[in-house]
Chain A
């Protein structure tokens, strides 16, 4: 439940181990997870099975996992094999994801598609703010948006990003910002600023 949170904007808490779970799987879209991704009482060492992205093609992962650090060639590679892994899992696994916001919600989607509930996962977004923005008019997904305005790659309108995030689609809503008066655009702001 998100009572007390006034928007659909996701808010993240540092990871803690679920107290009573049969197994834990931590996935990240990078190697070397920063300590601030974990709550004070815990660290990467509390997650004996970790999947990381190393961004080169010379690793061979073991998708059915087991204790140890497993390396993947890309986030897409990791997500594909995560689906296979979760489909082979039984009850009692808890899933943790650390990385960019689009990545951690991709992990949540793979978990949901494998039958996991929201309460069986923890997500923590790290790094520079980056948003996946869907153009509500033409349905094009604009990845890696780092500003408050973006030109839609599909229909070319200038989108402002509404403060509205879909966990199911893993997108922010982009709406044409000068539909009422063409050319009347607000200042562009950098999300990192």
Chain B
């Protein structure tokens, strides 16, 4: 069945956003057990995988059209959210090719790519785009190639150059980021840009993750899930705009937390690019509020246990401190003490009645 897009959704202001029951059931729930600590949790990005969101290379869901409009708005307000250093030019074309080929193969009803040598024609039906261009000639596209294609994809992307035994973040597009700044971090090594994350460095997580990522081969992408909590279905939780979204964290009450607090899950994917040998990171944000997630009994039980037992430094780093008590008290009603099955699957075919 073709996806029914919801082009009128908004991710700021009046926050017109909701998940269908199907979208909740395919939500990439990030907790494989009843507790959480930083780990590597990298695995091959094989399909279909344990969540519906893993079914394709670059997932297109009911929020696609609205998220692309939100990205265009963020870029109009702050063009610096898309930034690629000059030596990553080849990686830009690699990215365009990978995303176009993947979308056309996974969603032929929405996207078509026709190639005659270097003369390509791209059709994006949900956004109403039809573009003929010459591969390798940036002058034939309305935006630079990386920006052109990532304006038509959900989630952020970054480009990593591999040299000196590490990865450098040398480009990207970030309009849906969880409190980190591409403009500030550009040019940093893998360890430098992860500097502010607590606990994980000491556990060797970044050393091992870097070794894994530097060995990702062309045609064998990897993935992991990461998470945080966001008040309101706001995609742009950038440090740049923290003065705008920061006050939301002080607005939660026992009455509104179920509707207004969202679990924000990043499906991170890692692709080796063929010509540049760069590594493309996809950082796709999924948002679902507590009211929806707790309609899956297993997820409600598990969320309570994970949030109750979080390490205090994780509570602080993820910005939960101010409302942690309200959160745990709210979730307690969904935890009957029953055991939960291992893994992230919802274990149900339909949501519990509200």
Partner-B contacts on A (CB < 8 A): 1-3, 5-9, 117-119, 134, 136-137, 157, 162-169, 171, 173, 175-176, 179-181
Contacts and interface: CB of A to CB of B under 8 A. Distances in A.
A175 B322 CA distance: 18
Given A168-B186, A168-B187, A1 B243 contact: no
B151 to A, nearest CB: 23
A180 B247 contact: yes
B44 interface: no
B177 interface: no
B321 to A, nearest CB: 10
A176 B246 contact: yes
A162 B196 CA distance: 8
A118 B207 contact: no
B195 A9 contact: yes
B164 interface: yes
Contact of A179 (B181, B187, B196, B242): B242
Contact of A176 (B195, B196, B207, B243): B243
Interface in B154-200: 164-166, 181, 184-189, 191-193, 195-196
Interface of B: 164-166, 181, 184-189, 191-193, 195-196, 201-202, 207, 239-243, 246-247, 249-250, 322
11 contacts: A1-B164, A2-B189, A3-B191, A118-B164, A166-B184, A166-B185, A166-B187, A169-B184, A176-B242, A180-B247, A180-B249
A191 B242 CA distance: 25
Given A2-B192, A180-B247, 20 more contacts: A5-B191, A6-B201, A7-B196, A8-B191, A8-B193, A118-B164, A136-B239, A137-B242, A162-B196, A164-B184, A164-B196, A166-B184, A173-B184, A175-B242, A179-B242, A179-B243, A179-B246, A179-B247, A180-B246, A181-B250
